[in-house]
A and B are shown apart, each in its own frame.
Chain A
Amino acid sequence: MNDTVLQGVNLTKVFGWGKQKTIAVDHVNFEIRAGEVCSIVGESGSGKTTLAKMLLGLLNPTEGEIYFQGKKRDISTQRKKREYWKNIQAIFQDPYSAYNIFNKIDTLLLDCIRMRGDFWLPREKKIELMSEACSFVNLEYKELTNKYPFELSGGQMQRLMIARIFLLKPKILIADEPTSMIDACSRATILDMLMKLRDEVGMTIIFITHDIGLAYYVSDTVYIMERGKIVESGSADQVILTPHHPYTRRLISDVPKIHEAWDLSTVTYSGL
């Protein structure tokens, strides 16, 4: 298919040697199409974060290839990496550890403006951009400026991460369990905002979660991961309504509400 933006072939990551050897990702193959929301579902420790870091170019694969927009990905120099990172960005699982606690919040947003190539904009224009990004995630720039990350709640931190993505407007966003470390009330908001990003900016989203109900709610395509291997994949309906692999069935049975009714309206936020 022509609109494949990201493709992995036999992707493998092995940590350590000898007795300590862990195969975190084991010969994984996938294809992600432009504009879709693709979920990677698996229990904790199944290698989802490791896979995400390889896709982001933060970890080198032990084996296998990654194709970006049909071509073999080349991030051998810092310049090529920067170019790649204009196209692919991430939101991490734990907002508390994703911030440099010594920097003010403004630094984070100004970095994005610099990365867009808007470093030379006048100060007022930059503030305008930052305010726009903040209001996209229902935050008030005036209240945040000159604050440090630890003065924010987990939910606010994660929303600010989305504001960062809004500023950068990458082609692909990898969201690694973005709702698992924050309070329940903020989760729905975060999900709403991610969907808004997809709809308004036309982003391709790779959504990583341990919650298959959530994956069903948000995604077009689902990959099920078990101990480093992808055991089942396909469209969300196909995988969740007619699961073949026992691991998928077990994941589904762990989310009781899905069995009761396959109506989207009841699934909404139930697993949150």
Chain B
Amino acid sequence: MIHTLRQVFRSGKFVTGFVIFVSLLLIVLIYPLLVPDDPLAIIGLGTFFPPGIYVNVYDSVNVSPYTLNLPDATTKRIADKLGPKERQDMKEFLLAAGIPEEEIDIEDTAKLLDLWEKNYDPNKNIEGMTLAKMRYYQRLNNSLKGLLATEGLIVALPNAQTGQLEQVKVIEQSDYANINEVPNVRVLPLGTDNFGRDVLTELVKAAGVSLQIGFVAGLIATLIGLVLGLLAGYLGGMVDDIIMFFTNLLIVIPSFVLLILISFSIGQDKRGAITIATVIGFTSWVWTARAVRAQVLSLRNRDHVNLSRLSGHSTVYIILNDILPYIMSYVVMALILQISSGILAEAGLSILGLGPRTTEVPTLGLMMNWAMIYQAHVLGKWWAYLPVLVTIALITFSMNLMNTGLDQVFNPALRE
């Protein structure tokens, strides 16, 4: 036993897969301890906030500022609003407004802005310009207001009695808030999804639930397949015929089709994550049963089984002691495959909208489903679906890698 384990952990492929898998597992287990938020809590008012560090503006205004005189602060501020693309667009507008080309210098910010201020007219109708382009120029014009201003912003509050605005403080351009002193900062490494939920927290929870679904489905499928395969293979005769009849029946009907039909007939509100896992388990044992049966058939005529029979052992004892240990490595491999295909089956079902009901827990499949419904892929909101895909890929990849590693270790032993 220990010897076998040592051999398994000497296989590079297995170890790689194992390390990836265990890392994922650890993240799933430890992350909720660090970020105990409800993974389905809607925190963002709006859809698909991009990944980043969110600093509370109100709080940053209120912390006492530090003055830093950084040489390129102004340049950066201007560049943010007035990049090369904006300058080019402005030049196009000015040309259309009849300004000769040699007068427009898009490198000289002051001159360009001056020219723009004199010539921009939001109501001006330029031939061939779309409505969207017109709006764009309006937005651009707004963002350019006060761009070259050097004085600070005034923060004002209405007077409680008179209702008149009174100046509270002035925020200078060289004022800096230390992010550590801002009480409300939220890091959203993967932004928010279409509902305004933190994608990372949701993803970790979803990975955990999907792994659970995979484990439950894999265990059920492997257990059913193992028991039926052992019985069919060892007992033979009528038992074998009956089991094989049902097995072949299920092979003719593709299990995914069966899965879709059953999920559909259960109905949306009765479909919990574990229900889905059970259904997946009960529809995917067929190949395990067949494979186990084939292995048992080749084992049951071996002399150690004959000797065990001659020693008066019961059928159950022989199956458990003389057959099962010999196919155990194989069963473990089948289990790993069943788990990873269970996770994929859930994802497939959920993408079709037949997954677990959406109100309790997220799953990897549900997250894909939501991202698709809200067209994250069309809108280029990669953080809503790409991390989910990567997680699914990592889980199945690590499990298949472990399987290949096990296969290489055990198969010479099985062939002997």
Task: Identify the A interface with B (CB < 8 A).
Answer: 53, 56, 58, 78, 81-82, 85, 89-90, 92-94, 97-103, 111-112, 114-115
Cβ-defined contact, A56 with B321, below 8 A = no
B310 located at the interface, meaning its Cβ lies under 8 Å from any Cβ of chain A in the complex: yes
B164 located at the interface, meaning its Cβ lies under 8 Å from any Cβ of chain A in the complex: no
Cα of A82 to Cα of B302 in the assembled complex, Å:
20
Cα of A103 to Cα of B311 in the assembled complex, Å:
14
Contact partner, A112, options B302, B303, B311, B326, Cβ 8 Å: B311
Chain B residues with Cβ under 8 A from A111's Cβ? 311-313
Q: Given A92-B307, A99-B307, A100-B308, list of 16 further CB < 8 A pairs?
A: A56-B306, A58-B310, A78-B315, A85-B309, A85-B310, A90-B310, A93-B303, A98-B306, A98-B307, A100-B304, A100-B325, A102-B326, A111-B311, A111-B313, A114-B312, A115-B312
* Number of residues on chain B facing chain A (CB within 8 A): 17
Cβ-defined contact, A97 with B312, below 8 A = no
Cβ-defined contact, A56 with B310, below 8 A = yes
Contact partner, B314, options A78, A92, A93, A114, Cβ 8 Å: A78
Instruction: Name the CB-closest residue of A to B309.
Output: A58
Which 7 A-B residue pairings sit nearest by Cβ, starting from the closest?
Answer: A98-B303, A102-B325, A82-B312, A92-B303, A111-B311, A100-B304, A97-B303
Chain B residues with Cβ under 8 A from A93's Cβ? 303
Cβ-defined contact, A92 with B325, below 8 A = no
Distance in Å: Cβ of A11 to nearest Cβ of chain B: 18
Our count of residue pairs bridging A and B at CB distance below 8 angstroms stands at: 50
Instruction: Name the CB-closest residue of A to B304.
Output: A100
Cα of A111 to Cα of B322 in the assembled complex, Å:
14
Contact partner, A99, options B304, B313, B314, B325, Cβ 8 Å: B304
Cβ-defined contact, B322 with A94, below 8 A = no
Cα of A56 to Cα of B311 in the assembled complex, Å:
12
B199-225 vs A: 1/0 string, CB under 8 Å?
Answer: 000000000000000000000000000
Cβ-defined contact, A100 with B321, below 8 A = yes
Chain A residues with Cβ under 8 A from B326's Cβ? 102
Cα of A85 to Cα of B307 in the assembled complex, Å:
11
Chain B residues with Cβ under 8 A from A56's Cβ? 306, 310
Cα of A185 to Cα of B311 in the assembled complex, Å:
29
Instruction: Name the CB-closest residue of A to B307.
Output: A98
Cβ-defined contact, A97 with B304, below 8 A = yes
Distance in Å: Cβ of B298 to nearest Cβ of chain A: 12
Cα of A93 to Cα of B302 in the assembled complex, Å:
11
Distance in Å: Cβ of B179 to nearest Cβ of chain A: 61
Instruction: Name the CB-closest residue of B to A99.
Output: B304
Cβ-defined contact, B310 with A98, below 8 A = no
Chain A residues with Cβ under 8 A from B306's Cβ? 53, 56, 58, 90, 92, 98
22 intermolecular pairs with C-beta atoms under 8 Å apart = A56-B306, A58-B306, A58-B309, A78-B315, A82-B312, A85-B312, A90-B306, A90-B310, A92-B303, A92-B306, A94-B303, A97-B303, A98-B306, A99-B307, A100-B304, A100-B321, A100-B322, A101-B304, A102-B325, A102-B326, A111-B312, A112-B311
Distance in Å: Cβ of A80 to nearest Cβ of chain B: 11
Chain B residues with Cβ under 8 A from A89's Cβ? 310
Distance in Å: Cβ of A32 to nearest Cβ of chain B: 18
Chain B residues with Cβ under 8 A from A90's Cβ? 306-307, 310
Cα of A56 to Cα of B314 in the assembled complex, Å:
16
Cα of A58 to Cα of B303 in the assembled complex, Å:
10
Task: Name the residue among B303, B308, B313, B326 with the largest chain A CB count within 10 angstroms.
Answer: B303
Chain B residues with Cβ under 8 A from A85's Cβ? 309-312
Chain B residues with Cβ under 8 A from A101's Cβ? 304
Chain B residues with Cβ under 8 A from A112's Cβ? 311
Distance in Å: Cβ of A91 to nearest Cβ of chain B: 9
Distance in Å: Cβ of A54 to nearest Cβ of chain B: 12
Distance in Å: Cβ of B241 to nearest Cβ of chain A: 15
Cα of A56 to Cα of B307 in the assembled complex, Å:
11
Chain A residues with Cβ under 8 A from B315's Cβ? 78
Cα of A249 to Cα of B322 in the assembled complex, Å:
43
Within 8 A of A (CB), among B70-103: none
